[in-house]
Structure 1
């Protein structure tokens, strides 16, 4: 009985110790502000933002109309001849570019002033000859070293309509222009008024030349452009401008067609023999295959040149088979009765309007072998 009672008492006492009145058992609660996850912690701070440098102010070109009134210019503007042109360009400092006519001689009519934040160009007593492109270049300076910032240039083409001159005057009665087969050709018949109507004419036989916008086009700021010159474009041409009751002809342009090559020549050199005996003849040929009707000039350098051996060459041009409109130009250097002084390097330089290229070969001159005398039997 005692043992049973003792066991019951011990169990009751253990229960009382586990649930003591006034004290709660501890609970494993996570602390505030701390994560129970042992993995990497996420950043809670704000990311740092780097301040980007301020973009430089763009160059602005404006026209000063009168005191306190400005107008931002477009690609072109018109100022009546006799009036004053005043342009203002923001930047410190800036540099101006004007038509070549004004660069050569402005008669004191052109004035350029640099203010604290902008440059000012003023042109007084204007004429139709002042028509052209005016450009403002902002300058990038490091100490005293300054250079133009071409990518930030601001330009405007200014017309100066003249009631007596439809074309920008020229001191030349005629101008020779080369028509290059691989390059557009511009006939600079510029007008003083964008309202003028311009046509192209041939002097002989007298005829108007079609301006279709593809083969030949007209730009009021540049003149006539022949985009792909051909032999039939050659001759004497001129422009005719009309505006209202006024009709005038431009300078005459003498167009000379030149078939320009696409690339410098690629010559090939070959000697008739790598070695030649003394007294024998030698031939060294240099040939170029290129476009038809494209001239090639050959220049030779050879050992005998140093002691005065004269140059003898034969040149010819022959078409290349296959109908590819190509030709072979060839030059052959003739060396008669070679001597020791003719031994050495032979160089051929082929040149056309696009450039030149040289090739070389070496020739050896060897003593001529004398034939052996036949052996004769001696008789006693």
Structure 2
């Protein structure tokens, strides 16, 4: 009997000692804050001070709206033997937009943390506003939708309002759930919850509204996708290529185009996109342009159309590029080989260069381009007009001093003029000087 009693006592003592050591070892497994409760209510424009103590080095995680320059941190070693780490966070003045979760955590063990939610309250500003004044929310049918109209005090009563609707929706825990730190959660949103919304609170008899929320329901339904050609495309080297990829989607659908083709990485291609709204659907266009085709551009061209992570479509076409040797070029002037007519004529590649253009250079010029191997020929005729400044023939042979003629005699004056285009001749009379008479 005594033996069993001794064993029971020893086991009890052993359990007590080890249990005490275990509790001591678990202390400060997460940092400790000097705040009682899970939230703290602080009037606006006052100073927020939080103290944190832990076993390892500490750091703070702050709400996004709190700028680093407005926060002071005081790090120190603490405890009876300095074996602990202490950190004091000071934020002042605290503003409404600073409302949020302040967390103290171990620097090397970020998962071990302790936090407090701070409401920076102001009777004139019951809502924590964003920076833009309008936030776009994306809704998926069948999944919860959060309207993030957070408030600055946990006791504020809030309703959800849709523009154009007189009904103010209040939380019922079946379809609409309220959380002062998150806002409204619509558990099973339907088409009613698309459009423009805001939250409203009545403070001291005065209605106050939150920022606006545009709820958009993305649609990922590609009805059809096709190219502007159904068979292989044949082009000559150096020609321009335009491929038009068209996608048809439901309203609210947004699509992305991705082109894959042989010379994509080193090509001078360009892409133009546009969207057209039809009566029953949306049309999306992507035009791929290659200004000058090369032999390396031949091959399979693929247009991938995607919308979200589900809807996909793919269309393909084969491009064939023919490469010909440089054609033979001959220039004719008035039916004769131009280069043989005058030394001032010179053919440079496919161009005819005329030096010191003169009147006799006017006429019809024909460029003959041919590829004898493939039997391809083409001619182009141009007309060159050389403008010539008008000249008076008599001026070149007449003395500058007028010859005397008998008084009362009849004289015939001649004017012979030449120019291109043909000049107009006008006669003017200027009296001779009196010579002092």
TM value normalised by structure 2: 0.49
Cross-structure match for 1:236:
196
Alignment of 1:85-104 (within 5 A): 85-91=48-54, 92-103=56-67
* Residues 1:58 and 2:22 aligned together: no
Contact 2:233 2:317 in 1 (8 A): no
Greater relative contact order structure (CA < 8 Å, 6+ sep): 1
The alpha-carbon distance between structure 1 residues 122 and 189, as it changes in their structure 2 partners (threshold 3 A), is: same
Alignment of 1:193-208 (within 5 A): 193-208=153-168
Alignment of 1:219-368 (within 5 A): 219-243=179-203, 245-261=204-220, 294-300=253-259, 343-354=298-309, 363=318
* Aligned-residue RMSD, C-alpha: 5.1
Flag structure 1 segments of 5+ consecutive residues without an equivalent. 1-51, 64-70, 141-148, 320-326, 368-380
Question: What's the CA shift string for 1:157-196, capped at 9, x where partnerless?
Answer: 1123334432235555x31313332664433322111111
The alpha-carbon distance between structure 1 residues 332 and 357, as it changes in their structure 2 partners (threshold 3 A), is: same
CA distance in 2, matches of 1:312, 1:217: 42
The alpha-carbon distance between structure 1 residues 211 and 278, as it changes in their structure 2 partners (threshold 3 A), is: same
Question: What's the CA shift string for 1:38-73, capped at 9, x where partnerless?
Answer: xxxxxxxxxxxxxx9x6683123323xxxxxxx4x4
- For residue 85 of structure 1, report the CA deviation from its aligned partner: 2.9
Question: What's the CA shift string for 1:188-244, capped at 9, x where partnerless?
Answer: 32211111111112232433135433443221111123345444223332212235x
Contact 1:278 1:340 in 2 (8 A): no
SS in 2 for 1:212: coil
CA distance in 2, matches of 1:361, 1:170: 46
The alpha-carbon distance between structure 1 residues 358 and 114, as it changes in their structure 2 partners (threshold 3 A), is: farther
* Residues 1:218 and 2:178 aligned together: yes
The alpha-carbon distance between structure 1 residues 222 and 161, as it changes in their structure 2 partners (threshold 3 A), is: same
Question: What's the CA shift string for 1:233-267, capped at 9, x where partnerless?
Answer: 23332212235x354423331414232449x9998
Cross-structure match for 2:75:
114
SS in 1 for 2:66: helix
SS in 2 for 1:232: helix
CA distance in 1, matches of 2:270, 2:97: 59
* Residues 1:151 and 2:111 aligned together: yes
CA distance in 2, matches of 1:308, 1:193: 57
Contact 2:48 2:91 in 1 (8 A): yes
Cross-structure match for 1:74:
37
Contact 1:181 1:228 in 2 (8 A): no
CA distance in 2, matches of 1:227, 1:233: 11
CA distance in 2, matches of 1:170, 1:276: 53
CA distance in 1, matches of 2:116, 2:156: 19
TM value normalised by structure 1: 0.55
- For residue 113 of structure 1, report the CA deviation from its aligned partner: 0.9
Alignment of 1:105-184 (within 5 A): 106=70, 110-116=71-77, 117-140=85-108, 149-169=109-129, 172=132, 174-181=133-140, 184=144
What number of residue pairs does the alignment pair up?
Answer: 281
